[in-house]
Structure 1
């Protein structure tokens, strides 16, 4: 497979840096072709602004979605955005690797999403009617591609368990997995989360690499998270709420997953 690894950590000598190097080597040994977008090394501009459209005239009021659509359609996006979009088109699978900072993505990676996910590429595609509300949540430009998160955190695994103080890890990652990845069509694999990073010694690092290696080896065969597709009949359109006869009496994030 062609695999894009989007990596967000400022220190190459960190645990994340070592895991990134390990992942590239493991994937290449498995016969995959790998590209890495090392956002800090690239000095990626995180802030979305008017300069993302090189054709926007000075003094014109910035309409973010309209500006994104015009730049995407007319080929006037800034060069850094266009390069990352080409990597996404090329990739069969995308891995986002990052430390969990304040319960979310590092700002530089969030900025990568905001700038690269242009109107017409990641959103604003497909018909809107009484039966189909855009190509999203299981459909879209990235349908048929796979995606997975590799996440590190200093907290204990129990802190992110079903009754942990931080909340369940899958709930914390839901906006990323369901919103950023499933929304434009990716098949989203279960995340690979590495806990208590400050306590990992040399022996622990070998164990961490072995576990990560197993996940990378199975990148093409692991069953994706069974998110419900928006236009497959489970949701009322245009309200986009789960039909009352499905999961009656239940609410919350879990209702958006199919249960066997």
Structure 2
């Protein structure tokens, strides 16, 4: 299978990077074709320009869109910061999931253009599941990403996994989470 990983975390020492390493290793061991787009390493420029608003996209965005066209499964790995995705990931969505590529309107009806592709979302967060559940934040995160972005563009969300209280987690818990990822991505 053709598998694209979109990764956003600035530190190679982070648990997010351990997730990336585990996912990449597992997918390659199972014979998948894998491309990783580490948004920090490639220096992705997340700010939408005025020309992009009116439909003019640059070579950098065409390149990213080709990776998405190629992929059968897309995995997004990023931390939850301020109850959302990091700015660089949001900028990737804003710029790459553009009108006419990821979605369009026909007679006023929205149509997702990325049908037939699957999505896996792996997030780390500093708070516990119970804290996010008690205030509805867990559902808000799923609504804004799963439905508001990916399903809106026609993608099928297979998994959206939140790894909770990561800064306070111990080594055994993290190893178990990495085993879980290895099982899912294969």
Q: What is the TM-score when the length of structure 1 is the normalising length?
A: 0.68
Contact kept? 1:104, 1:173, Cα under 8 Å: no
Q: Is the 8 A contact 2:114 2:155 kept in 1?
A: yes
Structure whose residues are more often strand by fraction: 2
- The 5 A counterparts of 1:152-231 are 152-161=124-133, 164-165=134-135, 167-217=136-186
Alpha carbons of structure 1 residues 44 and 51: separation in structure 2 relative to 1, 3 Å: farther
Deviation at 1:172, TM superposition (A): 2.2
The answer to whether the Cα contact below 8 Å between 2:104 and 2:113 also exists between their aligned partners in 1 is: no
Report the counterpart of residue 66 of structure 2 in structure 1: 86
Unpaired segments of 5 or more residues in structure 2?
none
What is the CA distance between 1:51 and its match in structure 2? 5.7
- Structure 1 residue runs of 5 or longer lacking an equivalent are 53-63, 72-76, 218-260
**For the residues of structure 2 that align with 1:134 and 1:114, how far apart are their CA atoms?**
17
Aligned pairs for 1:103-118 (under 5 A) are 103-118=83-98
Q: 2:113 aligns with which of 141, 145, 153?
A: 141
Aligned residue pairs, count:
186
C-alpha deviations, 1:81-112, integer Å up to 9, x for none?
A: 01100000000011111100111110000000
In the aligned structure 2, how far is the partner of 1:42 from the partner of 1:115? 15
Normalized against structure 2, the TM-score is what?
A: 0.93
Quick check: which has more Rg, 1 or 2? 1
User: Cα distance 1:168–1:51, how it changes in 2: closer, same or farther (>3 A)?
Assistant: closer
Aligned-partner SS, 2:116:
coil
Q: Which has the higher helix share?
A: 2
Aligned to 1:124, the other structure's residue is in SS state strand
